[in-house]
Amino acid sequence: MHRLADTPTNHPALWGEIQVHSASAIVVENRAIILPQLKRRGISKWWARNQQGAYSEDGIRIDAINDFRGHRHIFHPPPLLKQAEYNESRTTEQDLLIYGGTIFDHFGHLLLDLTRLYQVLRLYRHCKTPISVHVHTTYPGKGVTSPLAQQWLSLLGVENRIKVIRRPIKATTLVSSSALYRDRCFVSEDFYAATSTALAPSNQDHLNRITPTANKVAYLSRHKLTSGTTKFIQEEELVERLKQHPEIDIICPEELNFLQKLELYKLYPTIAGFPQACMNLKAFVPTAAGNPVAAQVMLIAGPQSLSSNWINIDKACKFKDYYVDCPAKPGSTAQQEEDGFQRGNQFDVNTAYTAITSLIGRI
């Protein structure tokens, strides 16, 4: 096993840049104008098909609250308000506008692209002012209509405070935050301060009251998934072998609700598995004296099987988690297409099995 934080930049499985940025900045703009999401016709690329964002009193785009994924602009509006589709006749006015960012209807991006919301909650948790957001969802209708997002907002305790921006707004004061995370690029040093306090206080208390299961390992299995980024082809074989050990619980996260997934990080001292979106939840689980969050061990094999996000989060949060190299045996197909997945990676089952079973009672 190796420390995630020590992953070399030339590791063959690594995908993305390794960076921990300085603390994010609170954004305060007087007399700002924020636009709803506007659709652009004839654009095929989803990240350019819509535009949204805010402008200063001088009509200049406020770049700090625009979205990126990697180095790609997401929904960027024009640099100047006069170039945007701004319907001043539909504009409403608001004294204080708290902006929480964009809600995406995808598990991983829902969790990690909402860092502006987690940061403003540190400032405005106990006030009643609505928190304004943009949404990108496949569900039609007004408000936050994604069941996945609704569950997450409920756990954060803000389901009744979220307001989707549907019309242009002139705000006497706009308050937001720069991003604390960018996919495969960086995590800020104050990321954990925001995520670990983002859950509603009642849910934080609930998690801190959970008694860990001594000397058990939770293996988060992906073998039942039918779609995603990477399929680890022999995982079903690995699961069958791990079932022989009563000290190892096989868990399929997609069969659990949000709270049950979070509870895993208090129930088990050790969690292992191939990288998957559920593992991002560790950053949202509060710590308490004598009741730590589970240590996490990631199995990796093949190209692009270890996003730099995991390393950046580990470094920023100081988790000191681990990874295990499980490369396929010489002569195996390193990468191939799999139905429903972007890629299918082979791995060495014996290496993975030995690594997981060695965790019993160890970490």
pLDDT tens digits for range 1-10: 999 999 999 9
User: Does residue 196 sit within a domain?
Assistant: no
51 lies in the same domain as 160: yes
Q: Which of 292, 308, 291 is nearest to 300 (CA)?
A: 308
The enclosing domain of 11 has a CATH number of 3.40.50
pLDDT > 70? residue 338:
no
Residue pair 232/222 in contact (Cβ under 8 Å)? The answer is yes
222 lies in the same domain as 262: yes
For 203, the token pair is: 């849910």
pTM recorded for the entire structure: 0.93
10 lies in the same domain as 33: no
13 lies in the same domain as 38: no
Domain finish residue from 179, 194, 220? 179
206 lies in the same domain as 353: yes
User: Does residue 193 sit within a domain?
Assistant: no
Q: What is the mean pLDDT of the chain?
A: 93
**CA torsion, ordered 154, 200, 103, 80, to nearest 10 deg:** 140
User: Does residue 194 sit within a domain?
Assistant: no
User: Does residue 280 sit within a domain?
Assistant: yes
Per-residue pLDDT, 230:
75
Domain finish residue from 113, 145, 179? 179
Per-residue pLDDT, 257:
95
State the SS3 of 203-215: HHHHHHCCCCCCC
Region 190-196 average pLDDT: 98
68 lies in the same domain as 133: yes
170 lies in the same domain as 213: no
Identify the band that residue 121 occupies on the pLDDT scale cut at 50, 70 and 90: very high
Domain finish residue from 146, 179, 212? 179
d(CA 191, CA 23) in angstroms, rounded, equals 8
- Which residues are within 8 A (CB) of 112 and not within 5 positions of it... i.e. 6 or more apart? 181, 183, 280, 309
Structural domain boundaries enclosing 253 = 2-18+202-357
Using CA of residue 97, residue 179, residue 262, residue 268, what is the dihedral sign?
Answer: negative
pLDDT > 80? residue 176:
yes
Q: What SS3 state is found at 94? A: strand
Residue pair 15/307 in contact (Cβ under 8 Å)? The answer is yes
d(CA 118, CA 250) in angstroms, rounded, equals 31
Region 74-88 average pLDDT: 94
229 lies in the same domain as 173: no
Name the domain count of the chain: 2
User: Does residue 227 sit within a domain?
Assistant: yes
pLDDT > 80? residue 301:
yes
Per-residue pLDDT, 256:
95
- For 248, the enclosing helix (H) or strand (E) is strand 248-251
9 lies in the same domain as 79: no
260 lies in the same domain as 337: yes
Least confident of 39-43, 277-281, 297-301: 39-43
pLDDT > 80? residue 336:
no
User: Does residue 307 sit within a domain?
Assistant: yes
User: Does residue 192 sit within a domain?
Assistant: no
User: Does residue 186 sit within a domain?
Assistant: no
Residue pair 7/311 in contact (Cβ under 8 Å)? The answer is yes
247 lies in the same domain as 150: no
pLDDT > 90? residue 115:
yes
307 lies in the same domain as 219: yes
